[in-house]
Structure 1
Amino acid sequence: MVVASGIEFPLPLSTEPMEARMAEALPRDDGPWQYEPKWDGFRCLAFKGGKSVDLRAKSGKALGRYFPELTATLGDLETSDFVIDGEIVIEVDGRASFDALQMRLHPAESRICKLSRETPAQLVLFDMLVAPGGRSLMELPLHDRRAAAEDFIARANAKALRLSPATTSLATAEKWLEGAGNDATDGVVAKQLDDLYRPGERAMVKVKRLRTADCVVGGFRYLNGKRQVGSLLLGLYNDRGLLDHVGFTSTIANDERAALTDKLERLRGGSGFTGKAPGGPSRWSTERSGQWEPVKPELVVEVRFDHVTGERFRHGTKLLRWRPDKAPRQCTFEQIERLAPQVSKKGV
């Protein structure tokens, strides 16, 4: 046991989670392998010593004050003196929301408490470092730690604690990878079943799904202080035939800006987005950067994206090529339909 702030915990709160190295494809050799969805939330090590609970981010920062419902759930368990590894996620209207997670990082305790009631978080468990009672499992192979995690979840029987799916089937893992990039998951993690837990080491393998979509250019923004295009605003047609704003791309080559600006200005003044439109300035943007110019929905561009949240691209996309062969009306949400694997208490 380790004493921190006068409380005995099974491991130091500075313990680092085991990490993964990037790869282009799922491993097939030197197995056997266990495959799991790569959850797109906040990585978290949860420590319990006696009745005291501490949640730590991958960076080592304390998370407990931002997720009081998880601290309460773990504190109420009859078992104690354990350490678990998982991912904090929040579902809104049945779909995982990274925006809801980010809203928790708020300085006002009253705001956090309100959000914890309205949009409670879950801890998706995928590994166990110390079993209840204080027995370390880090020197045991993954298949033994997985069995301990399954037993822990079954005994806890708590809605806020879930077990991540896992499979030894490469075919199933590849299906998960194909569906990743929507809502809760953004790839697949591969772990060797006979490997021990190695804090801080990139001993696992992660493969992220980068997908492409053909989008309509519904508007653009100028570069700050310049009369040249800075970013393209992207749209997809919804099932009502309206063009919804879904994101942006700013990966425009400098030697192409002048000609592209001329082309867009000739199309300026059109209907732009007829469904969900880009918002105005936010607390992160300037007044100028919040302004945008609508254009006639005639141009189609193929972009690469890594993740979709709430029917929008989470991050900026990479412009791959123009698609003059594609009709704008063919650019629909079917390209980014939600196919992510479901969280399960039993696994796969």
Structure 2
Amino acid sequence: MDLPVMPPVRPMLAKSVKGVPRTGGLSFEPKWDGFRCLVFKDGDEVELTSRNTKPLTRYFPEVVAACREQLPERCVLDGEIFVAVGAKLEFEVLQERIHPAKSRVDLLAESTPASYVAFDLLALGEDSYLTREFSERRAALEEALGGLTGPCYLTRTTTDPEVAEEWFQQFEGAGLDGVVAKPLTAPYEENARTMFKIKHVRTADVVVAGYRLHKNSTEERPLLGSLLLGLYADGKLQHIGVSASFTEVRRAELLEELKPLECDIAEHPWGEWAQWAIANPDRVPGTQSRWSAGKDLSFTPLHPERVLEVGYDHMEGRRFRHTAQFKRWRPDRDPASCGYEQLEEVVSYDLARILGAT
């Protein structure tokens, strides 16, 4: 492989902002909820690399085949690998594609095939586009990739913040993650946060059901790592995610604060999970998956008596997609009243309408 831009390349990043910017000079596009992926193509040679430059090629043979068939002869693209089930992106299904066994990879490539959506251009033919403005890169992308109908796609863009606001509100129903804004005059800067991302911010009242110790915790100075959170459904406390990102001082304070609530696992609503430690769809505390192999997932159970308000962006099935942000204690809330019905229900939206439009 001999391209104007060669791996490893760390992709350009985005910093979070509140609300769709109205300053002008920006190009907006949907924020795809998948695996960030750079495509390097030189004839029949195709390499896929992740955000942290690790190879993805072996996990997505159907994407490699699509790139060979649909993309220009020699190019380097920035984009996202995703899996759609019906009319919606499914990140959990995408995660299953990272498997060590080739037989399993081949089976999943048939049963849950992935697609690729391109949103930036690093090289085309003999030319590097890294130093060119995004407006020029986008124009070249549209000329080179226009008309793709899958499995490779070109993402939609707009310079109208009102349209971007509509996308932000509507596209979440198809499993997308928000909106990204790119300065039209900016070059492609590797590993630099020169883009802006706008994501949904919501709050929920959840039950604190346990904690894990921090990796730097010692017997002399124990430190809380994360709080395990739950919501009630049909009378049972379901694991919904974790809250973390505390200062070292706060980690020590929280341990002291929660100590009176510590209990034996046999007295805990999650006691039934203590007897098995296998991969499972609900990713309950203390259980293993290929994403957690080698990690200590043990936790200290707490009587589910305290309620916490957290911030979150969106759901992945019945769990928070990302780590929830600690907001404040809610001593006025009854734990039993904290259920899924408080969560905002996103209106569904057909993914095909996003991928099929130009």
Measured against the shorter chain, the TM-score band is 0.7 to 0.9
Partner-residue secondary structure (3-state), 1:278 = coil
Among 64, 70, 79, the alignment partner of 1:71 is 64
The aligned runs of 1:102-113 (5 Å cut-off) are 102-113=95-106
Among 28, 36, 49, the alignment partner of 1:35 is 28
Equivalents in 1 of 2:357, 2:26: separation in Å? 15
Partner-residue secondary structure (3-state), 1:162 = strand
Equivalents in 1 of 2:84, 2:265: separation in Å? 40
Equivalents in 2 of 1:272, 1:86: separation in Å? 40
Partner-residue secondary structure (3-state), 2:107 = helix
Equivalents in 2 of 1:47, 1:242: separation in Å? 48
1:325 to 2:332 alignment: yes
Amino acid paired to 2:255: R
In structure 2, the partner of 1:233 is: 228
Amino acid paired to 2:115: Q
Alignment deviations for residues 240-278 of structure 1 (CA, whole Å, 9 cap, x no partner): 56543211335564334344332464999365699x683
Equivalents in 2 of 1:273, 1:178: separation in Å? 40
The aligned runs of 1:169-184 (5 Å cut-off) are 169-174=160-165, 184=175
Deviating more after overlay: 256-265 vs 38-47? 256-265
Return the offset for 1:323: 1.5
Is the 8 Å Cα contact of residues 176 and 340 (structure 1) preserved in structure 2?
no
Is the 8 Å Cα contact of residues 216 and 300 (structure 1) preserved in structure 2?
yes
Q: State the number of aligned residues.
A: 336
Indicate how the Cα distance of structure 1 residues 285 and 260 shifts in structure 2: closer, same or farther if over 3 A, else same.
farther
Identity %: 35
In structure 1, the partner of 2:182 is: 191
Equivalents in 2 of 1:169, 1:249: separation in Å? 36
Return the offset for 1:151: 4.8
Partner-residue secondary structure (3-state), 2:343 = helix
Equivalents in 2 of 1:285, 1:83: separation in Å? 33
In structure 1, the partner of 2:76 is: 83
1:248 to 2:248 alignment: no
In structure 1, the partner of 2:308 is: 301
In structure 1, the partner of 2:195 is: 204
In structure 1, the partner of 2:278 is: none
Is the 8 Å Cα contact of residues 183 and 307 (structure 1) preserved in structure 2?
no
In structure 1, the partner of 2:277 is: none
Return the offset for 1:210: 4.3
Partner-residue secondary structure (3-state), 1:71 = helix
In structure 1, the partner of 2:259 is: 261
Partner-residue secondary structure (3-state), 1:345 = helix
Is the 8 Å Cα contact of residues 182 and 308 (structure 1) preserved in structure 2?
no
Amino acid paired to 1:220: G
Alignment deviations for residues 270-302 of structure 1 (CA, whole Å, 9 cap, x no partner): 65699x683543264789844664745x54211
In structure 2, the partner of 1:60 is: 53
In structure 2, the partner of 1:165 is: 156
Is the 8 Å Cα contact of residues 224 and 252 (structure 2) preserved in structure 1?
no
CA RMSD of aligned residues (A): 4.2
Equivalents in 2 of 1:236, 1:127: separation in Å? 40
Segments of 5+ residues of structure 2 without an aligned counterpart are 273-281
Deviating more after overlay: 141-150 vs 47-56? 141-150
Return the offset for 1:113: 1.9
Return the offset for 1:123: 1.1
Is the 8 Å Cα contact of residues 71 and 145 (structure 2) preserved in structure 1?
no
In structure 1, the partner of 2:319 is: 312
Return the offset for 1:312: 0.9
Equivalents in 1 of 2:153, 2:119: separation in Å? 9
Query: With structure 2 as the length reference, what TM-score do the two structures score?
Result: 0.73
